[in-house]
Amino acid sequence: MDLSNTMKWLTGAFELLLGIPLLGASIVLGFGYGPLGIMLILHIITLLICRREMTGTTGSIFGIVTSIIAVIPFVGMVMHLITGFILLIDAARSR
């Protein structure tokens, strides 16, 4: 499995975790919005790896946007779920 695919699985799983209604909000608020910054960095790294390996970048771009607008409570939850599914579907198709 190539590195871009591994990063898509990893970031997709983290996005789905943050999209779980009470759990994701507790994680984000409990750590002072730090997880959003960490996810932003992970999505940028994934985007760069995907560009280098010439694989799909849609999920990473969605992830970057999600990390930025996720400070809006319910919008963030929905965006985390959408982004997580996009990343996991992209990773599954890349096999």
pLDDT tens digits along 9-58 = 999 999 999 999 999 999 999 999 999 999 999 999 999 999 999 999 99
Q: Under 8 Å CB-to-CB from 60, ≥6 apart: which residues?
A: 8, 11, 43, 44, 46, 47, 50, 87
Which pTM value belongs to this model? 0.94
Residue 43 near residue 63, CB atoms below 8 Å: yes
Q: Report pLDDT for 20.
A: 95
Q: For the chain, which residues make up each domain, given as ranges? A: 3-93
Label residue 1 by pLDDT band (50, 70, 90): confident
